Structure 1
Amino acid sequence: MRLIFPVLALLLATGATKPVAMDLKNPTCPEKPDWGVAKAMTLTAADRGGKRVLIADGIIDSRLPERLKAAIDADERIEEVWLKSRGGDAQAGNRAGKVIRSYPGMVTRIPAGWTCFSACNFVFMGGDRRFVEPGGMFMVHMFTHTGDRDVIEISVDEGTEETTRLIGEIEQASALLASEDNDFLIRMGISRKLLTEVMYRQQAVATKENPSTRYCLSQDEVRKYNVVPMERPAG
């Protein structure tokens, strides 16, 4: 027993856990990101660590902003929104972020092991205060509507007419997106360099020479770009 306890203490002190496998194509990101279920985002109120939180898990659909507001209004004890998502509808992501910002003091959080990707970035940035826990992934890409394949897949399921409508809007919506993103970042207190130095420098399409299309910000980078503010962001 005298030998066992020191060994256990050493393991705990050194954090000897199984390392997370990284993606060879996107080396800053995990090989198997935990970005939630492949269906429209669910919103579940729960008690975690003495706090009332809203767990947002899944694909961002066009109705999320309205559903998100209804969920927060239904439970006045909610003080944090925890996010796990592979993205989805870009404009709905922006609007959902604005919904969160309309609640003074509302916190957004990416817990350890969870991934917030694509349109989820903008939902997260709506938080009055924001936290990316060590091991949590704020994953970005070249932000375009055509990159949001899950939205297209959902529209295909809804029928030919919906798919045709979506494809017809892609070019117009993408042209407006850069301006909307820039305005959103300013309003949320995020550095615009997040767009110019990170998001828009990622490849939209993988090539044989450079297969990387995604980038996960480090703890230093989420602070550098004020994704996780050192001070309270401007409202």
Structure 2
Amino acid sequence: MNRLAFLAFTAPLVLAAAPAMDKDNPSCPAAPGWGEAKAISLSTAEKGGKRVLIADGIIEETFPDRLKAALDKDEKIEEIWLRSRGGDARAGNAAGKVIRSFPGMATRIPAGWTCFSSCNFVFMGGDRRFVDPGGVFMVHMFTHTADRDVIDLSVGEGTDETIKLIGEIEQSSAMLASEDNDFLIRMGISRKLLTDIMYRQQAVASTANHSTRYCLSQDEVRKYNVVPQETAG
């Protein structure tokens, strides 16, 4: 009876610990743990007996060079822990390639942390990759059409400017899609991550559908080789 009473008491506490989910993006937490809205910082720490480099913040164009300098400076670093809402797409790809140039380097998204958008490609650079239970690998469809200020300005300037902008968006988006595809192949990620997940997300929220993000489950990060089977767990 005492054991039953204990289970009855603790069950609500376990349920309460589950994070609230985003009503617009139901696979994702309502409050993603992607850190502060500031330029990405780099710091080192000892975690579980390992030397870890912590990358926390918004990815900007200087990040790949700073990341390489940090890894060159400290040969004891074994893992890179990531928490970011994303940022510069091409800087994310470049940073992923920097990580891959250090053989055996691992990347990790710890419990409670979120890696979103261009952070996905930084994470994919790891030779070994871990998404801890409670860690969030959050994706969306990469697009240039979400810059409403630029679009509104071109519309205000007339049809010719709008057509020009549409052409630039189409060209830039096609180039970025090609780069993403090439990057996934190089990093050993299933291309189906793009076709099945990323490119199926709505680019811009609409009145009828507010969902623009998707968070992979533990099964899905393995299915698409985001976390290689040999490093799972």
Considering the TM-score relative to the shorter chain, is it more than 0.5?
Answer: yes
Structure-1 residue corresponding to 2:27:
28
CA contact (8 A) 1:88 1:148 kept: no
Question: How far off is 1:37 after superposition?
Answer: 1.5
Q: Which runs of 5+ in 2 are unaligned?
A: 151-164
Structure-1 residue corresponding to 2:50:
51
What is the 5 A alignment of 1:1-235? 7=6, 11=10, 15=14, 17-147=16-146, 171=169, 172-231=171-230
Which letter does structure 1 place at the counterpart of 2:225? N
Structure-2 residue corresponding to 1:155:
none
Root-mean-square deviation over aligned CA pairs: 2.7
Question: How far off is 1:18 after superposition?
Answer: 2.0
Question: How far off is 1:73 after superposition?
Answer: 1.1
**Structure 1 pair 60–123 and aligned structure 2 pair: CA distance change class (3 A):** same
Question: How far off is 1:174 after superposition?
Answer: 2.4
Task: Give the Cα–Cα distance (whole angstroms) in 1 for the partners of residues 33 and 98 of structure 2.
Answer: 25
Task: Give the Cα–Cα distance (whole angstroms) in 1 for the partners of residues 66 and 100 of structure 2.
Answer: 15
Aligned residues: 213
**Structure 1 pair 58–207 and aligned structure 2 pair: CA distance change class (3 A):** same
Deviations 1:152-184 (A, max 9, x none): 9xxxxxxxxxxxxxx9xx734323101000000
Task: Give the Cα–Cα distance (whole angstroms) in 2 for the partners of residues 50 and 98 of structure 1.
Answer: 26
Structure 1 SS opposite 2:108: strand
Structure-2 residue corresponding to 1:161:
none
Which letter does structure 2 place at the counterpart of 1:46? A
Q: Which runs of 5+ in 1 are unaligned?
A: 153-166
Deviations 1:53-94 (A, max 9, x none): 000000000011000000111111100000000000000000
Structure 2 SS opposite 1:231: helix
Task: Give the Cα–Cα distance (whole angstroms) in 1 for the partners of residues 6 and 94 of structure 2.
Answer: 51
Task: Name whichever of 213-222 and 138-147 sits farther off.
Answer: 138-147
